[in-house]
Amino acid sequence: MRASGKRVRRVTCDRNILRNGAPESVSRSLIGATFEKPKRWGKWLICATDRPALIFHFGMTGRFVWSGDDPEPHPHDRMTLEFSDGELRYRDQRKFGGVWLAGAHEVGDILGPLGPDALEVTEDEFIARLERRRGSIKAALMNQKVLAGLGNLTVDESLWQARIPPRKKASSLSKRELSAIYRACQKVLRDSSKEGLVPAKRTWLTGARNRSDRRCPRCHSGLERATVSGRTTFWCSRCQ
């Protein structure tokens, strides 16, 4: 993050975007604080400082904007951290995301019971956690207590790459199939975190899901669409 090693000069914060305190407590806690290198765990970003840590969850529409890249403030900027060389803005249209302040011992309570980060977990651990789930493979992969970091798009993409139908029961999958899902998840998450979003490549399912002509990039048959585990799901009934 752009703030690493830098000292906070000023903070402004919308009411309600700080989820565990009043907006004033952010300035009280963080003015003069120096940010360390942040750590990601699943969909959470933990920004430690020499004072309390600032924790971000980006929800569906949250993101960081650095003033050097995009100088114009925006009405959806919910928190602004000012440094000597620019401003880091937390921009979030829908406000499903949020920000928390946490002392060293409070981080665990805020994140709640999270499984291992999906990009850190070993293949054996990945398989062990999934093979005893009762529900669909999609539900298991989406469950942050099982593995942290996968979401609706990354799960659909990974299952498509691994050629596994999303409604298949997790417990019915072979080691070989779970291994294919593991490798697909690693690739999808790595490419997505590099891009800052799930890339809508033409060779990926994600590239097809928002087009009007939704065809499988591999076999060109029409994609299926249904609600699985509460979320709009796309898959190819021919390759998966």
Residue span binding DNA (CB under 7 A) among the ranges 24-32, 64-72, 145-153, 213-221: 145-153
Query: CA quadruple 137, 145, 96, 120: dihedral positive or negative?
Result: negative
Q: Among 139, 178, 208, 236, indicate the residue that binds DNA (CB under 7 A).
A: 139
What residues between 192 and 221 interact with DNA by CB under 7 A?
197-198
Q: Among 25, 34, 67, 93, indicate the residue that binds DNA (CB under 7 A).
A: 93
Asked if 26 interacts with DNA (CB under 7 A), we say no
Q: Among 46, 53, 153, 208, indicate the residue that binds DNA (CB under 7 A).
A: 153
Distance (Å, whole) CA 102 – CA 110: 8
Tokens describing residue 134: 């009762």
Asked if 116 interacts with DNA (CB under 7 A), we say no
Residue with smaller CB distance to DNA, 4 or 128: 128
Residue with smaller CB distance to DNA, 83 or 90: 90
Q: Among 95, 214, 218, 238, indicate the residue that binds DNA (CB under 7 A).
A: 95
Residue span binding DNA (CB under 7 A) among the ranges 2-10, 27-35, 87-95, 174-182: 87-95
Distance (Å, whole) CA 177 – CA 162: 8
103 and 52 Cβ atoms separated by less than 8 Å: yes
Asked if 22 interacts with DNA (CB under 7 A), we say no
Min CB(231)–DNA separation in Å: 6
Beta strands 98-102 and 10-13, pairing class: unpaired
Residue with smaller CB distance to DNA, 83 or 204: 204
Total of chain residues touching DNA, rule CB under 7 A: 32
Tokens describing residue 142: 């989406």
Asked if 186 interacts with DNA (CB under 7 A), we say no
Tokens describing residue 234: 């796309």
Buried b (16+ CB within 10 A) or exposed e, 196-209: eebbeeeebbbebb
Site string for DNA, 33-52 (x = CB under 7 A): ---------xx---------
| Angle between helical axes of 123-131 and 175-195 (0-180°, round to 10) | 120
Residue with smaller CB distance to DNA, 112 or 176: 112
Query: Which contacts (CB < 8 Å, 24+ apart) does range 158-161 have?
Result: 158/184, 158/185, 158/187, 158/188, 159/184, 159/235, 159/240, 160/204, 160/205, 160/216, 160/234, 160/235, 160/236, 160/239, 160/240, 161/187, 161/188, 161/204, 161/205
- Binding stretches for DNA (CB under 7 A): 42-43, 57, 59-60, 75-76, 93-96, 112, 133-136, 139-140, 142-144, 151-153, 197-198, 227-232
